[in-house]
A and B are shown apart, each in its own frame.
Chain A
């Protein structure tokens, strides 16, 4: 699986999003499990903002989401130990 180049968003860059999933306190693999469950409930093309505070998740969640065919718009650091991951839902062809 090709390593996706994840775009880092600057502090003032906030892509439009449709849903938010706040999973601070959650660790892998549940970070992706919960992101995936949320994405399943959304429509194709909608954007999910996932808030995580578990550092490995900023690699794992985007990578797993991309592997399942979604588009990762970018990752933004919002606190010293908190990040937002923006994912556009795409159904795997």
Chain B
């Protein structure tokens, strides 16, 4: 089984963001990066499926060359090879441009299964996975919390408003991963050393035209300080009153 896990390097979620001088992007100073939370779940699932069914896991990202740290982390956990399509302006790509580039590389590499996070934690679009599937013409199940693979086919569970849906699909397929799918493992220090010897290909990313562009980036207004209305059961009426008449949410 050939599995490709797509990951994105994103600013850490504890970032205290500052808007850069251009008014369109984040100030890069002091920003720390990590693999997008749901993409870690995609990597974990890829490795678990490989451990179960055999095969090979490739980790694919579009990003700056510094994304090698995040790719090597996935290699340290058990993926077999990494590919970085180097694009220093990766953050500016829109989902369709991203999906087109990924589709091109995935066609070249060949795969039975492509796993992605359900959403990137930086931009919250949740669209690259389904767009990629459409471009490839493959089956797609999103927000998956359970995945079983068989001979040329698979089933995937997802939580929908009405309850749990179970889908059957034929491989190759694109799956986007939801939180409860698995518990990502730690890289492990031996794995980190082993990852140094695994292949990591860096190739220039084909240019792509984004159809949407960020015009302006503004931080949310600062939250007003909270207020403690009292303590214990005696404070409940005052709290209800405040929620009803001040906050107007009851």
> Do A and B make up one complex?
no
